[in-house]
Structure 1
Amino acid sequence: MTEEQSYTTEEISKLLKISKLTVYDLIKKGDLVAYRVGKQMRIDATDLEAYKRRSKQLQSSGQRIPTPHQTSASGTQPGQGDFQATSLQSTTPVGSAHAITPASSAHTMTAAPRHLVITGQDVSLDILMRHMEKQTRDIRPLRSFMGSLDGLISMYRGESDLVSTHLLDGDTGEYNLPYIRKILTGRSYVVVNLLSRPAGLYVQRGNPQNLQNWTDLSKSELRLANREKGSGARVLLDEQLRLHGIPSTGLIGYETEETSHMGVAAKVSSGEADVGVGIEKAARLVGQVDFVPLTQERYDLVMLRKQGNEAWTESVLRILQSSEFRQELQSFEGYDVSRTGEILYEA
């Protein structure tokens, strides 16, 4: 290997036979040196070899290898079978590179930045990251595009710092809090609203199947473009199917999963599916697909309250409650910012 050779996080996960989440955690903790080229994380071959040498030395000396989580023989963490591949993103301009300095060399710097993992897909998180980078020089936000439920589980495991979630509890009609309370049992945290947005059905242009409400999903031979397990859209669909007594087996394509709202909307737009569940914004971006709004979902953020988090959590709250941040969100049609920055629950 040459010094010029480098790998993506996905290639590293395959080479080391570990999950991508573990790769991200190694980067976050400074055990594996990485840098950004535009929106992509890269690891040089020399840095990979250096990490492997350190691991072998620790193993031969009887010390614990500094990987953040044990992995199974298949390379996934226990209980992680439903997790989807994630990617990290920063708002560094495309084409630039910025090194992430490992903890082992932090003593050579006056103030090594702390890496914060933010989960979720909405564009509002990109805006939040930009404000965080401007206002808090000592942190560097990283983006993980996992679903709401998986994000909460990753927070429970200590893999994420700020989690976005839009999970409907069909029995109570409440968003997010029933899931947060169950998953983050024993943790101290704060839940704050980011925004509300319309959610409903993607249908083909002109709505030839005349799908107007959730009960219409019982129509025979309906082809579905579905989201992955753990996503807010998948939970919304499953809860509505349960509440209306509609068996998922009647939906062709229920087991086939897309990993984004855009992916679902594109399947419907192309004619490969008759219907999908998601947010209005994706329908506007994809085009050639109509949207049937059925609910207004609440999109919240969860931050753990623990020692060392105080400064950046307060900074995030100030950003969310600022008029500048709200004005940026209001530029996106369909976003309701009437409660943005409101603390909804504190454990």
Structure 2
Amino acid sequence: MRFVQRSDEVPEDFEGRAKDEFDDVLAHRNDPTKTKSFTFKTYKRPEIKQLLQDMFHGKCAYCETFYSASQPMDVEHYRPKGAVSEDDDHDGYWWLAMKWDNLLPSCIDCNRKRKQITPVGDVRQVALIQNGTPEFSQSKVLASGKKDSFPITETGERIFDAPTGAKDNLIALSSPGLLKEEPLLLNPCNDRPAAHLTHHFTSVTDGVDGARPAPVSFMLPAKLADGEGDIYRGDDDLSLKGAVSIHVYGLNRLNLVQARTELLRRLEFLKSVIVQLHALADEIEEATTTEAHISTLLAKSTQKIRALADQITEEIAVMARDDAPYASMVQAWRATFKSELAG
């Protein structure tokens, strides 16, 4: 998950449609003869879907997977519109169903409650750092996917009904009282996911016994900085917001871990090629000869080798662009690689 600046541009008729639907759902709720739940339509409009798709480059707002090639995009409500699974007395944030900044694009695995094979074991950040690569052979089927989930902190104040002026305000989060809920789910347009989530991955390096462990990509809650977000601070100073988001969105479901890991292993291969090319160029530069033509040939060879390494480095930069899949993981890996080179 990565931060995305929400676009302020919405279709010209969106505000009118949203206000009309607000009136319709309010009338539906006040009519005792209405026994079926209200059918919301404004958020499903094609132009809204296109805006969300463009804003997130065709990727899921939560897991950064491209969904367009294999599945339809779900227009997801950050605050659920019809129910809240953590509170049976809550009818859902119906007054936010047509609000622009409550809408996000999602893949079906992050949005719908589904049973997913998920690695288990001690995956706390501290344990992973101390013990190295976790055991991913152990796994179980867990129900993940957001659906109607919207957990808040123990000190948060749940909002149960539309505040005054809700109809005329297209921006959900500016509604009075919503921030007092202290939500435990990350919103990529309002939070800085990098402050609450961290990518754990191991490089392909020789171990003590000569083994070369395969790298694995796993999402973990990040350590919160001192004095930052104390209401979301959990054990070992890890972010509760990150931990809950990982669980609810299913950010460590097996197929997602495998997809990120496949990309990670490509990155590790490219890194090894870059390192070897620069090492070869260094050896050539250190070679000495009295033959002028050989010296010229060696110089040209060195230039070509370093140019090839630079091309591979540029390819990695492309893989780290915001419109690429799992960009936040690639950006984190790239930062680690730069640190290794600097060292």
Q: TM tier, shorter chain?
A: under 0.3
What TM-score, normalized by structure 1, do the two folds share?
0.27
The structure in which a higher percent of residues are helix is 2
The structure in which a higher percent of residues are strand is 1
What TM-score, normalized by structure 2, do the two folds share?
0.27
